[in-house]
Amino acid sequence: MKRSLVLTLLVILIGTKAPAQEVNFGINFSPIIGMPLTDKKSNSPDALKIRKGNINATGGITIGIRLGNFLIETGANAASRTTVFRLNLDQLTFNNLNSSTSISGQNNVRALGFSYSAPLIFGGRLHHHEEKYTYDIFGLLGAEYEIYSFEEYTYDFATSSSSGSVTNVLQTTPANGTQTSWVNIVAGFKIRAILLKVGLIEYGLRYHYPISDAGNYVVSTAVANNTYGSVFTGDFYPRLSYLDFHLTYYFLNFKKNEGVKKYRY
């Protein structure tokens, strides 16, 4: 991955007519909110769905190149990723010989994993401010290559029955260690600011949309009491999109004709 990043930077610098005015090296950290989308190939009952709003985190290194009113960003990131499949039964009633028994409950199946990504993002300056504080607002558009590694499932059951105890039997795929990869389209904005006694930082919001799914996930859960039960199976092809609340601190800065640039005052 390091070799590919170096080659990418060389291509950018050689192919751009305007010489780089500034090159910045930093570290980034971001809380992310997972917003998985289901592909059209997915098929599941109404009671079994993918939950949105899973909170994870990402971090890594960032390399920024400033070209006047434009900038280029690349680097390498790692992120924790969680996908939650929720079975929500308000009440499931079975009738037999003029009698009935009901089962209710909520089961969460969490698919845990990690992803590694290399972005290439372009920014254009939308606004410059230089009065009490100095900052620029940039619109962002680009892509990133992401490799996802599935680790394990965890389970969370909450079930009850009007007659007898409730048992859950779960079957899931893929297997631990399964890897998939795809390309994300990245769009958003960031504020590039100079803070006194801190230095150069960037913060903003980005949306990552995968152009392909993360593979086939099958979640099958059997809910039963002493007498009756039912099996619910979901066949999912999730696209693991997410919102990224991005924060970058640049610890090393090189500016044209100045060498190392110090932003702390």
Q: What pLDDT, on the 0 to 100 scale, is given for residue 226?
A: 73
Calculate what percentage of the chain has a pLDDT beyond 70.
86
pLDDT band of residue 220 (cuts 50, 70, 90) is confident
In three-state secondary structure terms, 3 is helix
Report the sign of the C-alpha dihedral through residues 59, 252, 16, 139, in that order.
positive
Q: Residue 15: in which H helix or E strand, if any?
A: helix 2-15
Residue 208: count of CB within 10 angstroms of its CB: 23
Q: Specify the higher pLDDT residue, 250 or 220.
A: 250
In the structure encoding, which two tokens stand for residue 65, read together? Answer: 């190149």
Q: What pLDDT, on the 0 to 100 scale, is given for residue 103?
A: 79
Q: Specify the higher pLDDT residue, 132 or 148.
A: 148
Q: What pLDDT, on the 0 to 100 scale, is given for residue 227?
A: 74
Give Cβ neighbours of residue 52 (< 8 Å, ≥ 6 apart).
Answer: 34, 35, 36
Exposure string of 112-144, with b = 16+ CB inside 10 Å and e = fewer, is bbebbbbbbbbbeeeeeeeeeeebbbbebebbb
Reading phi first (left if > 0) and then psi (alpha if -120 to 50, else beta), residue 45 is in beta
* Alpha-carbon gap, residue 24 to 81, rounded angstroms: 28
* Alpha-carbon gap, residue 137 to 153, rounded angstroms: 41
CA angle 148/151/155 to nearest 5° reads 125
* Alpha-carbon gap, residue 240 to 60, rounded angstroms: 19
pLDDT band of residue 5 (cuts 50, 70, 90) is very low
Adjacent-strand bridge partners of 260: 254
* Alpha-carbon gap, residue 215 to 195, rounded angstroms: 44
**pLDDT tens digit string along 116-142?**
999 999 999 998 877 667 889 999 999
